[in-house]
């Protein structure tokens, strides 16, 4: 999703009250609100693929899967973000109506307009959530996934998932989402996605 600045400086309570009355979603960062606009069809397909798979996998296990309409709070005073996908298995979130406070998994689907922010500012803030075990960045332009996980030394460690430059058709790359004990083929996340190179070849 793309964020666009559209605000004077307001307090967290003012933001929460004001945003609940708006027709579009707004994130909140240091007193400023950012309007969230729609992503591409590929972005939507990737988010739907992973959210659907996680929903099926976690059914009956006391966890909840949310897509872009669910807000996460870094603290009671913000920032407040709308991740593309998040999962919470914390009992204190089970009856939440407006804000998720204790996710274990957050996924962002990258776009050219948001990649730097997702990798930088958002990740720095997400790392303050003490229940977060895994942060996943999914490239919408090619099959490439980056999973950041907290290791035994309490450091965030990167595990990339992608194909070699010369793909082997017999090779399967499986992604392991350790925070929710789920594995799936990399290609499954990109089901129904048409990349820009494919569009150029078919035009």
* Closest C-alpha among 187, 81, 87 to residue 124: 81
φ/ψ (deg, to 5) at 109 = -95, 120
Convert 126-154 into a string of H (helix), E (strand) and C (coil). HCCCCCCCEEEEEECCCCEEEEEEECCCC
Number of domains composing the chain: 1
Dig out the tokens for 9 from the structure: 């400086």
pLDDT reported for residue 9: 83
Percent of the chain with pLDDT over 70: 89
* E strand or H helix at 11: none
Q: What is the CATH number of the domain that holds 113?
A: 3.90.1570.10
pLDDT of 66 over the 70 cut: yes
Q: Is residue 28 part of a domain?
A: no
Q: Is residue 96 part of a domain?
A: yes
pLDDT reported for residue 167: 55
* Closest C-alpha among 98, 119, 99 to residue 108: 119
Contacting residues for 198 by C-beta, under 8 A, at least 6 apart: none
Q: Is residue 158 part of a domain?
A: yes
Assign 32 to helix, strand or coil. strand
Q: Is residue 6 part of a domain?
A: no
Look up the domain containing 70 and give its range.
39-202
- Asked if 93 and 47 count as a contact pair (C-beta separation under 8 A), the reply is no
pLDDT of 203 over the 50 cut: no
pTM, 2 dp: 0.89
Q: Is residue 82 part of a domain?
A: yes
Q: Is residue 106 part of a domain?
A: yes
Q: Is residue 9 part of a domain?
A: no
pLDDT reported for residue 165: 43
pLDDT of 87 over the 60 cut: yes
pLDDT of 189 over the 90 cut: yes
Euclidean distance between CA atoms 59 and 10, whole angstroms: 39
Q: Is residue 135 part of a domain?
A: yes
Q: Once rounded to an integer, what is the mean pLDDT over residues 53-58?
A: 98
Mean pLDDT of the chain: 89
pLDDT higher for 99 or 199? 99
pLDDT tens digit sequence for 106-153: 999 998 888 999 999 999 999 999 999 999 999 999 999 999 999 989
Q: Which pLDDT band holds residue 30 (cuts at 50, 70, 90)?
A: confident
Contacting residues for 116 by C-beta, under 8 A, at least 6 apart: none
pLDDT reported for residue 197: 64
Percent of the chain with pLDDT over 90: 72
Dig out the tokens for 153 from the structure: 């030394």
pLDDT tens digit sequence for 161-175: 997 644 555 678 999
């Amino acid at each position: 999703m793309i964020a666009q600045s559209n605000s004077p400086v307001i307090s967290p309570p003012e933001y929460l009250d004001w945003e609940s009355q708006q027709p579009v979603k707004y994130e909140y960062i240091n007193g400023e609100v950012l309007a969230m606009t729609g992503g591409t069809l590929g972005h939507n397909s990737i988010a739907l693929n992973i959210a659907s798979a996680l929903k099926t996998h976690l059914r009956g296990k006391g966890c909840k899967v949310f897509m872009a309409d669910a807000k996460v709070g870094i603290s009671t005073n913000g920032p407040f973000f709308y991740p593309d996908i998040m999962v919470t298995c914390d009992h204190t979130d089970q009856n939440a109506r407006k804000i998720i406070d204790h996710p274990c998994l957050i996924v962002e689907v990258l776009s050219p307009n948001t990649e730097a922010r997702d990798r930088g500012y958002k990740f720095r803030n997400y790392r303050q959530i003490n229940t977060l075990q895994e942060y996943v960045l999914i490239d919408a332009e090619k099959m490439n996934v980056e999973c950041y996980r907290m290791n035994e030394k309490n450091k965030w460690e990167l595990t990339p998932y992608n194909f070699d430059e010369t793909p082997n058709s017999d090779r399967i790359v499986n992604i392991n989402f350790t925070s929710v004990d789920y594995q799936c083929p990399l290609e499954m996340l990109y089901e129904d996605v048409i990349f820009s190179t494919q569009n150029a070849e078919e035009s």
